[in-house]
Each structure stands twice: as structure tokens, then as C-alpha cells.
Amino acid sequence: MAQNTRTGDLTSGPMLQKIILFSLPLAASSILQLLFNAADVVVVGRFAGSTALAAVGSNGALINLLVNLFVGLSLGANVVAARCFGAKDDEGVRNTVQTSVTLGLVSGFFLAVVGFFAARVLLELMSCPEDVIGLSTLYLKIYFIGMPMTMLYNFSSALLRAVGDTKRPLFCLAVAGLINVVLNLVFVILFSMSVAGVALATIISQTVSACMVTALLVKEKGPLHLDLCHLGFHAGALGQILRIGLPAGLQSTVFSLSNVVIQSAVNSFGSIVVAGNSAASNLEGFVYTAMNAFAQAAVTFTSQNMGARRYDNLDRVMRNCLLCATVTGLVLGGGASLLGEQLLHFYSSDEVVVTAGLARMHIICTTYLLCGCMDVLASCLRGRGYSVLPMVVSLVGSCLLRLVWIATIFRLFHTTTMLYISYPVSWILTALVHLACLLVVRHKMNENLKAAAQR
């Protein structure tokens, strides 16, 4: 397979250096995506009040619940494309490209319909406060109208990432991010559109990034080229994407379901706590995406090395990604906790909102490295071809535990502190089980290789 200057061989050379160079643009891209929502939250918090801030921020858990299944499918596209690329299977890469972009568009239109028509009902099920639900519904409906473009970006960038290209998607998001910030200020301050303005700014900017990154695929030469006239599903590629992506998407969806339950518990404390929780969650997202870049690196590097049969690199990939995620979690999480009060004032000048946000950040940010390690270990399993196993472990170790925690301990001690503690407890237990599973899988692979060598 001919490689252009933007694709990369992730199977040889200094692994730590390649992981860092791969992950930095990826982390920056994810942070820019977060800035879309952060700009929304900051602008409405400053210029439209705490109620509008709660309306925008309280939608995060519900949005994730609806979209994470399909984001998981884009992970499946990344794994399949990376394996084909590592194995130098040009036809496999071509089929994966056409299938992935088609799947992204179809899933986006499906989400747009469901999100638009079910918005208020879903918010009511989450016990959204009465003084917030009207604005929340409006924001959610407008946001989901842009979902086809959001999914198109996710799938297209996943294909570029599979061949080591993380810089060009970053450029696309940088352009879109600037557009988003400018439109936020124009719509909210100049036209007084409140939550409708920030939602509209978000979908316009996401459309720009989706069109730009898809244009990159159209201009590609070789197997990564996207032919818009021949969009469609290829059975073999679709089957592989679903086999890997569906368990990952279901895991993320159930994770989001547990977060929706937690959001409902947060809602029970009133709109001030909801606003503080929303601002804190938004800040924590920057720490998470920085760590998660190394989890995405783990799945891409592992997949390429599996395709190239470079099994000797798998442990190096795991160790280096764990190291990077841990250091990132310690530095950024600790820094966010120490500077939490100053950072939260960017979102709201209301001191009670800031205090409510700090109560969450001091617990979550100081333990966030556990979440980073959990995600890296799960990604190493998926890259090796085990997608159902990390799904089951995560559902039991994190989601079920959180739901039980809320139904028992939180009910007995009805405080926000006891609610937030459920996060680090679930992270450490799930990470330990993932590690045990990975050791068993590695032992099984080594035994199979030894048996094959003796034949």
C-alpha cells in the first residue's frame, strides 16, 4: 500500500514518541470539540443568566446517551480501517471508507429525528427542573438538527485517524471553533437569542468541520479516497464495523444511561446545583479528552500492529499509553482541582454556582487518572479484537455499580458528595477487572503463537 506523507506506519520505530505525536493533535481536536460546548456555556452563563446556563449544561448527559451508540460505531470503523491499513489490504480500506461514511450519514439522520421529536419527553424523564425544561428542550431540538453533520465528522475523522493522520482534522476543528465562538457572541449578545443562538452556532460550526474533513477524504489518492457517487454498504466491512463498534457503542450508551440517572439525582438539588454541576462537568471534559486521546491511540496502534502481525509491540503500546494517560490525569486533573474556583468564574459570576461546581471538581478531578487508565485498558482489549469483553466488564463494574450506589448509599446519605464519590469507586474497580482480562487475553495469545510455531 502506498503511503502519502500524512499517513503513518504505527508498527515500527520509537513507540512512545509516535504515541505522543499521534495523540497531541487528537487531544487538541477533542478539546476544540469541547470548546464548542464550553463557548455555549460561558456565553449563556455570562449574558443570559443561570437558568440558561443550567438549560445548556443539563443536556450533556442526555446528548451522550443518544449519540454514544453511533460514536462507538465510528470506533469500529477506526479499528477495521487500521487493521486493513496495517495488513496492506487496499480493497479492505476502500470498502471501509465507503461503508463508514454512509453509516455516519444514516445514523446522523436517525438521531436528528429521534432527538428532535423526543426531546421534551426525555427531559421530563430526567426530572429536569421546571424553570429550565423549556429552554433545555429548545436547545436540544436545534442541536439534534445538526446531528447528520456531527456523525459525518466523527466517522470521517476516524478513518483519517486509522492511518495516523490526526493533524488535518485538528485544522478543520480549529476553523470551525473560531466560527462557533464568533457566532455565539453575535447570536446571544447582538440578537439576544439565548440558548437558541448557541445551539444554532454549534450546528453551523459542526457543519463546517464535517464538510472540511469529508473533503479531505474526497481529495485523497489511493484506497482512502472517498467516492461520493458510490456511497453504500459493503457487507464484509459493515459486519466487521458492527462486530467491533456495537459493543463499544452499547457500553458508552449504558455508561451515559448511568450518567443520566446521576444527572437526575443532581436535578433533585435544584437549578443552582445543576448549573454548578454543568460548569464543573464542562471543565472536567477537557481533562478527560486529553487522557482519552491516549486511549484512542491505544486502539489505533494496537489495531495496526495486529493487522501487521507485530504482536511484540502490543505490550509496549499498552505500557506507554497507560503512562501517558496517568501523567496527563495527574497534571491536568490536579491543576483543574487547584484552580477550580478561578476557572468556574469563567462560567458564572454567581458565587453559589461556583461553590456547587467546586464540590464536584475536588472529587472528580483529583481521581480522574483512574478513568484514563480504565479507558486505555479497554482500548487495548478492543484493538486485540475483544470488543464484547470490555463492554460486559464496564457494564457490570461501572454502570451497574453506580445505579446500585444511587439506589442504596446515596438514598441513605442524600448529599452531592456521596453522589460524586460513585465515579472514582466505579473507575478503579472497572480498571482492575480490565487489567485482569487483558493479562488473560495476552496469555492466551502467547500460548496460541507458541502452538502455531511448533506445528
Confidence of residue 61 (pLDDT cuts 50, 70, 90): low
Q: Would you say residue 8 lies in a domain?
A: no
DSSP code for 9:
-
Q: What is the DSSP letter of 442?
A: H
pLDDT at 1: 45
pLDDT digits (tens, 9 = 90+) for 364-421: 999 999 999 999 999 999 989 888 888 888 888 878 888 899 889 998 988 889 999 9
Residue 3, pLDDT score: 46
Query: In the prediction, which pLDDT does 5 show?
Result: 40
pLDDT reported for residue 402? 85
Which of 33-42, 81-90, 323-332 shows the lowest per-residue confidence on average (mean pLDDT)? Answer: 33-42
Alpha-carbon distance 343 to 287, whole Å?
13
Per-residue model confidence (pLDDT) at position 38:
67
Give the range with max mean pLDDT: 68-82, 83-97, 322-336.
Answer: 322-336
**In angstroms, how far is CA 311 from the centroid of its own chain?**
27
Q: What is the CA radius of gyration of the chain?
A: 21
Reported as a single tens digit per residue, the pLDDT across 431-442 is: 999 999 999 999
Q: Is residue 223 part of a domain?
A: yes
Query: What percent helix, strand, coil does the chain show, rounded to 5?
Result: 85, 0, 15
Do the domain assignments include residue 7? no
User: What is the pLDDT confidence band of residue 98, given thresholds at 50, 70 and 90?
Assistant: very high
Least confident of 57-71, 193-207, 310-324, 326-340: 57-71
Q: Out of 81-90, 124-133, 310-319, 334-343, which region has the weakest mean confidence (pLDDT)?
A: 124-133
**Tens digit of each residue's pLDDT (9 = 90 or more) over 15-44:** 899 999 889 988 887 777 777 666 677 777
Non-local (6+) Cβ contacts of 310 within 8 A are: 11, 12, 86
- pLDDT score of 82 more than 50: yes
Dump pLDDT digits (tens) for 165-178.
888 988 888 898 88
Question: What pLDDT, on the 0 to 100 scale, is given for residue 7?
Answer: 52
Any domain includes 311: yes
Percent of the chain scoring above 70 in pLDDT: 96
Greater pLDDT, 232 or 10:
232
- Is residue 1 assigned to a domain? no
Least confident of 182-196, 255-269, 295-309: 255-269
Compute the C-alpha angle 285/291/295, nearest 5°.
120
Inside any domain, residue 351: yes
Domain that holds residue 361: 15-454
Within a domain: 218: yes
Query: What is the average pLDDT value for the chain, to the nearest integer?
Result: 87
Does residue 198 sit within a domain?
yes
Residue 119 has pLDDT above 50, yes or no: yes
Is 90 exceeded by the pLDDT of residue 190?
no
pTM score over 0.85: no
List C-alpha distances in Å: 314 to 219, 259, 299, 430, 439: 33, 32, 10, 21, 12
Average the pLDDT over 332-351 and give the result.
89
The domain total for the chain is 1
- Among residues 15, 107, 111, the alpha carbon closest in space to that of 317 is found at 15
Per the listing, cell 478492543 goes with 382
Q: What is the pLDDT of residues 204-256, one digit of tens each?
A: 999 999 999 999 999 998 889 999 988 999 999 999 999 988 888 887 777 77
Q: How confident is the model at residue 290 (pLDDT cuts 50, 70, 90)?
A: very high
